[in-house]
Structures are given as structure tokens and as C-alpha cells.
Amino acid sequence: MCGIIGYVGDQSALDVALQGLRRLEYRGYDSSGIAVVGAGALRTARRAGKLANLEKLLAESPETDPMPGTTGMGHTRWATHGGPTDVNAHPHTDCTGALAVIHNGIIENFALLRAELEAGGHELTSETDTEVVAHLLEAELARVPGPVGVAGPASSADASHPLTGALRRVCRRLEGAFTLVVVHRDYPEVVVGARRNSPLVVGLGEGESFLASDVSAFIAHTREAMEIGQDQVVEARRDGVAVTDFEGQPVDNRRYHVDWDASAAEKGGYPYFMLKEINEQPTALADTLRGRLSADGAIVLDEERLSAQDFRDVDKVFIVACGTAYHAGLIAKYAVEHWTRLPCEVEMASEFRYRDPVLDRSTLVIAISQSGETLDTLMAVKHAREQKARVLAICNTNGSTIPRESDAVLYTRCGPEVGVASTKTFLGQVAACLLVGLFLAQVRGVLYGDEVAAYVERLQRMPELVRRTLGRLEPIRELARELADAKAVLFLGRHVGYPVALEGALKLKELAYMHAEGFPAGELKHGPIALIEPGLPVLVVVPSPRGRANLHGKIVSNIQEVRARGARTIVIAEDGDLAVEPYADHLIRVPETTSLFAPLVTTLPLQVFACELALARGLDVDQPRNLAKSVTVE
């Protein structure tokens, strides 16, 4: 959720940190700060509000170079403990002003630690849980002092370095989820980081090293990266990094190459990232589907640490996810049950482990997360593994935590998504869910290889249908501008159209800050129809008339019901569907396709509608208020 960048090398640490923070703005934040070590001093600057406020503060410095130094770090904060103020912004320093800490996550036992520190004479000035770490490190360094400027080979774990050792000892006392990055005035040769249940990745450059919450923070400098695992500490130097666990034992982590560059995270001529990413969906979908069949016609996952027999032994499927990914999971349920005949449940990841679900070695848990760091989903995965269930991850971020904790992985390959509200990654997740359903059906022998190949071939034609759909959505844009002053919008759907309706409502809530609800159309008469009043926009996702018997006729009846009560009906229907025309005040056409594939095109008008309505209200669609791209706290 918070953005983190740490640097040690030969460049200006201030410039590297500010550039990294600009690339991390998409994560959502309410304050920012910088710390630089150089010329025998530690200098910090922090401001509430957007990064521009911090840059203005730095520009107004009376000195030509307000922060000289080639070691430093930057942070964008999303408030948890304490409001978004200058005082609560990171970095936080100790009593001596010698060290600074930035933090992503929540330290659950901070109140107890704070009381202990204050009883020992420490003066804490903020309301944050983060500040206790700075003072705990101060106490540890005072207890076990070391020589100033300790150096050592980066190729081995330097257990004697004071800052690294102190951070390990402090981490062993912390409870909760955290990524920590620390710099110290007396140790300009290192930046030290640690993680537990929160993302941290290393960038490996030539004569420089980076620590970050996301590879996009350093992608302009290096595309070589290293995973940092659970309960590990990394010591970064110019000539490399050393990683140990919290007990000080060396670990050897996987290195990988990032297969997209800095230009992929730029706007590409669009005024907003979200507009760019909506229009990238044909490419993102094609990349997700590319190369998924082996030479013998079998579906290929990206990582698979389970045998075919493990999948054949599965007798129940759970899907766990949050937000938009949860809606992709609801669509997956229809595909999994239809193609595999296995019972499938979809759970909000935040509730999954608290209701004590019945799991065993014959249970498959499918975890869906764009970032691979969504903490609610990660905790659900950990609970499933503790109960001996198998876990398959669907994720967009190579090397992130959820894929590493899983038994099998399918990456969506959508590239970086900067807009907070998911668009192209949702389509990638839906496509990946369909592939997983086909994979399970094939390995379990429910579908023959040629049947699976035929479905995949049809799926691979979907990017062109997505492209065609995006080219015909000007009417929904015009309608969104017309409805900019609406107080509420209802969304209705049936079958896979119901999760699409939920997703449409969520996008409108996220972007336009207005009341929006999605309902199964059949539930209208069980309560929601009381909400219908003259002029209320009701957006209806209509299933194909070629689909399940009478389902189309039923939703046409639902449209008539709301229209009879004065609603303004906005109907999403496939080409050639004539039955809806008399009852649609506004008709948006999408191409014909297989029923289970329909969300790949019916979602598009809803994304565009929400985006355009929010823009008409003068809102920032890339960074909606109170939201963050990756939710790494529970």
C-alpha cells in the first residue's frame, strides 16, 4: 500500500528517491518523505499531501543542494496509525537524529512497545506505529555498539554489521505485517531492509543497489531483481546484497529479470493511466493467453509443484480474493463447476480463515491477487496451507509473495497497472480463471484434449473482440457525461452477468464516489425494487439469447419491471439481440461470444462508463481518494 524506495550507489540519492516515488504514486498515499545520508549527516524532509508538496519544500531550501549524498530512501504513506499530517509522515527518526525508518504495514504490538520506550526515557513525537521501530533500533545500537562505517564483503551475510544486527533483533520483537527500510548517519555504505507479510524487492544494478515495495520504483535503473522472502533482512551495498533470516542465517534468494521497462509505466500520450490501461486490454488479454497450449494440446501453467494425481484427487474448490479479484473469482465459479463438475465456493479473503472453513489435502484453493501481496488473500493462503490444502495462485506480479507461497501459479502477464482501479488486470484474471477451469477439466479427464484446445482457440480470438468493443463505446461516454450529476446507479445481471454488474458498481464507487449497487436481476422482487424511482439509472447486463434456456427472457422481464416504475434503462446486449430494443432507453452493443467468455466484453462499457462519469465530475481516476493499489494491511 505505502510506497518504498531505498538506494545506495553513486547517483544522487535524492534524485533516485524522488523518481522512484513518482512511479509509486499509483499505489495511493496521503503524505511523502525523504531521508538522505551524506557529508556526515542524516537529512530528512516530509510533507502531508501529494508528492508535489514535498518537492516544493525541497525546492524552497536556501541551499543549492539541500540533501547531498548517495545513500537514502523515500516513502509515500497511506495513513493507518495517526492522520495524514507532516508529523506522522515518514521517515521517522530516533532521539539522536542519527537513523531514519520508513515502514509499510501495521505493527500490532506497537502500543506495548511504545509504553516500554517512553518508560525508558524515549520521546516519541508522532501517532504512528512506525516511530517505535526507530527508537527500538536506537536502543539496540546503544546496547551493542559497533565501529563506525563497518564494511564487509556484500557476497556474504555480514552478521557483525551493527545496523543489520540491530534490525534483526528488533524484527524478532515485532508482531504484525511490515516492510522496514533503515538508513543511518554513521553507516553511509548500507541501506538495510526487512519484511514480514509485506512486499519488499531488491534491484541489482551496476555499482548500485535498490530496495523497493515494487519493481516500478527502480525499473528505470535496472531490470535485474531479487525476491526477499518471509522474515528476512537484506543488507544492500553498492557492490551487491546479503540476505539473512531474522536469526542471522544466510539465505540464497531467487533472482529474476523484469520483462517490461520503464516506458510500460508511462502514460503513452493518454491524460490518465486508467484510459491507457483500458485501451491496453486487447494486448494484455492476448499476452495472458499466449503460449498456454503445449505441443500435445495440454494447458500449461507458469509454475506447477503438484502432480496430475494431486489435481485428480481434488474434491472441492475454494476461490479466495478481494475487491475486483473477488468478482473475477465469481465468474470462475461458473466455469469451474460447468467444466469440472467440482463444487466451488468463492470467499472474501478477509473472512475466509475466520469462519473456520473445512479444508484438507483434497481441497484446492485458488488465490487471485493482482499484486501478489494482498494481505487478506495472503493470510487466507497461509491458512489453507496450514490445513494441508493445495493452493493455485493467479497473479500479475512475478516473484511476489502469494505465488511463492502457492503450489502452482498462472501469471496474467498484463504488465504494470498504474491506475488504482483495476481494468486490464481484471480481464487478465477472468481469462486466467477460465484457463484454470479448463486445466482442471483436462487433467481430471472431464474434457478431452481437443475440446480444451477448441475452447482455448475461441479464447484466443477474444482480444480482437475486445478491440472491436472498445472502438464502439462513444455512446456510453456521452451518456456518462450526461449522468454526471446522478445520485445513484443500480446494476443488474444474471449468470456471469451478475459478477460483471458487481464490478461495474464497484468501479463507479471507486472512481465517482457515488452510491452504486449490483444485484442479481432475479432478486429485484425480493427487496431491491423498492429503490427504483423515476429517473434512476439502471444498467442491465443482458445474457445472450443463445444461452441458458429462458434466462434471457427472464432478464427482459426484469428490464420491463424497472422501466415500468420510471427507471432509466441502460442495456448492455450482444449484437443481434432484438428482444431488448423496445425496453432500452440506451442500448450498448457488444459482439456475440460464448456465454462464459461474455464478461471479457460486457465489462468494458462499465469501465468506460465509470471512468468517464468520474472525469465529468472533475475527479482523479488514477488515484481515487482513500484507496491504494495494493492493500498490504488487514
Q: Give the strand pairing for 92-93 and 99-107.
A: antiparallel
Burial call 264-290: b when 16+ CB within 10 Å, e when fewer: ebeeeeeebbbbbbbbbbbbbbbbbbe
What angle do helix axes 110-119 and 131-143 make, rounded to 10 degrees?
50
Helix H or strand E encompassing 574: strand 568-574
DSSP code for 299: B
- With beta carbons less than 8 A apart as the criterion, state whether 319 and 328 touch: no
Marked catalytic residue, from 2, 171, 344, 395? 2
Beta bridge partners of 491: 518, 539
Angle at 429 between CA 195 and CA 382, to 5 degrees: 35
All cell numbers assigned to 88: 506522522
- Distance of alpha carbon 424 from alpha carbon 541, whole angstroms: 19
Neighbours of 545 (CB within 10 A): 17
Beta bridge partners of 403: none
Is residue 95 part of the annotated active site? The answer reads no
The residue with cell 525476491 is 227
All residues at 6 or more sequence positions from 83 whose CB lies less than 8 Å from its CB, including other chains: 127
27 phi, psi to nearest 5 deg? -70, -15
Tell which residue, 291, 259, 599, has the closest CA to residue 429.
599
The residue with cell 499531501 is 49
Phi-psi region of 209 (alpha: psi -120 to 50; beta: other; left: phi over 0): beta
All cell numbers assigned to 273: 493511466
The residue with cell 436481476 is 521
At 484, which amino acid appears?
A
Kindly report the three-state secondary structure assignment for every residue of 510-534. HHHCCEEEEEEHHHHHHCHHHHCCC
- On the CB side of 107, CA atoms within 13 Å amount to 26
In sequence order, what E strands does 349-465 have? 363-369, 390-395, 408-411
- Distance of alpha carbon 252 from alpha carbon 343, whole angstroms: 40
All residues at 6 or more sequence positions from 263 whose CB lies less than 8 Å from its CB, including other chains: none
Is residue 414 part of the annotated active site? The answer reads no
Neighbours of 95 (CB within 10 A): 16
Active site residues: 2, 629
